[in-house]
Amino acid sequence: MAYQIIDGVRVWGNPEAGALAQAKTCVEHGNVVQALLMADHHKGYSQPIGGVIVYEGQISPSGVGYDIGCGNKAVRTNLLAADIRPRLGRIMDEIARNVSFGIGRVSNKKVDHELFDDPDWSVYAAIGRQEHDKLKALARDQLGTVGSGNHFVDLFEEAKTGRLWIGNHFGSRGFGHKTASGFINLAAGREFMANAPGEKMDQPPVLLDLDSELGDMYYRAMKLAGRYAYAGRDAVIRQVLAILGADVEFEVHNHHNYAWKETHGGRETVVVRKGATPSAPGQLGFIGGSMGDISVIVRGKDTEENRAAFYSTVHGAGRIMSRTQAAGKMNWKTRVRMGGLISEVQMQEAVRSFGVELRGAGTDESPFVYRKLQEVLDAHAETIEVLHVLRPIGVCMAGADEFDPYKD
């Protein structure tokens, strides 16, 4: 087996002390079946990123996190990357102009969707008409926007075939964030829309019994936010396809911040994956690297080790440097960042050397702040197989000062 067991936690890759301590805290609270750390693990809020906590009869709003349903979508187009290289710069400019990036942004073009007639909106109506109307209006405004932090829209060239792929990574935006904070408020006896004190990095998980009224309401709201995240990623892919004049031949779409009801070893469980990709045998996943590294399409293996992983794998390369360490602290009066370890020049040189057209982004998302994706994939070689290797040729992200501490 490629994993080790440390204080009951199954750990793939090199254990990171802070994330391991958070996983152990999770184990000490609630009906925990198993705790696991994928090879891209690092500290998060309450539950580590790259962490999987398996519960019996319980669900954790803090474990799922603030970006409910965050995930990746990748599509293989009918074009070759060579077909667009002469106009790649113009294409990336158009993506940056037409796709909305950043905290609080609203869609340039409102996207209507059958999701807004979903019966699970009744959860918010039960909480209060004001809450329902505010969240639904926010969801309508932001559908099809990408957000900040490590969220992206990328163009890729497949290593073996030269085919052009489109990929994106983001979640349920402000709607998901307010849903998470609202249920964390309710669990603490506060009003849904109250100003919450905020989570501390190492606090115990917030837990709800799945058969309680509040647990059932959260589960339904989480699923709605997950469907919203899928709809948003679909909408952005359609925008980029229109810019390219391309059609889809094949797609892969998955969450990595979510809670799934699953049966493992004959036992009904709730698997809370924060920054971890489901990898059941035959299941496909899109795993992104940094802007200066490969991304991959993987498939879950039918192995004993994958069963031991509760059919979970990495969601990315994993941070090795915090945003503040990389970019420094912002002086909001002067709008100048100070003390960052990575300069803009370093980032641009690294990205150019990898052959990438970059739009937006900041040094907090530079290749220097992440592990190499191949390193974490190697740690999971017995659980997943790599089907397609994708090299980024165009990367579009929010600007340097658009990151949100709750993003993974």
Query: Which CATH number is 363's domain given?
Result: 3.90.1860.10
Pairwise CA distance, residues 173 & 69, whole Å: 9
Q: Sign of torsion, CA 156 159 164 166?
A: negative
Q: Are 310 and 271 in contact (CB under 8 A)?
A: yes
Count of the separate structural domains present in the chain: 1
Considering the domain boundaries, does residue 388 fall inside one? yes
Considering the domain boundaries, does residue 64 fall inside one? no
Averaged pLDDT score across all residues of the chain? 93
Q: Sign of torsion, CA 209 69 291 329?
A: negative
Residue 67 labelled as part of a binding site? yes
Residue with tokens 């969707």: 113
Considering the domain boundaries, does residue 405 fall inside one? no
Q: What is the pLDDT of residues 34-67, one digit of tens each?
A: 999 999 999 999 999 999 999 999 999 999 999 9
Residue 102 labelled as part of a binding site? no
DSSP code, position 235 = H
Which amino acid is located at 371 in the chain? Answer: R
Which of 243-247, 360-364, 399-403 has the weakest average pLDDT?
Answer: 399-403
Considering the domain boundaries, does residue 89 fall inside one? yes
Q: Are 246 and 225 in contact (CB under 8 A)?
A: no
Residue with tokens 């983001």: 170
Residue 151 labelled as part of a binding site? yes
Element containing residue 178 per DSSP (H, E): helix 173-187
Q: Which residues are catalytic?
A: 315
Which of 85-89, 120-124, 180-184, 346-350 has the weakest average pLDDT?
Answer: 346-350
Residue 256 labelled as part of a binding site? yes
Q: Are 3 and 41 in contact (CB under 8 A)?
A: no
Question: How much is the pTM?
Answer: 0.93
Task: Look up the domain containing 394 and give its range.
Answer: 4-59+71-399
Quote the pLDDT of residue 286.
98
Residue 215 labelled as part of a binding site? no
φ, ψ of residue 134 in degrees (nearest 5) = -65, -45
Element containing residue 7 per DSSP (H, E): none
Considering the domain boundaries, does residue 407 fall inside one? no
DSSP conformation letters of 289-326? --TTS-EEEEEE--SHHHHHTTSEEESSS-BSS-HHHH
| 395, pLDDT greater than 90 | yes
Strand partners, 284: 299
Considering the domain boundaries, does residue 78 fall inside one? yes
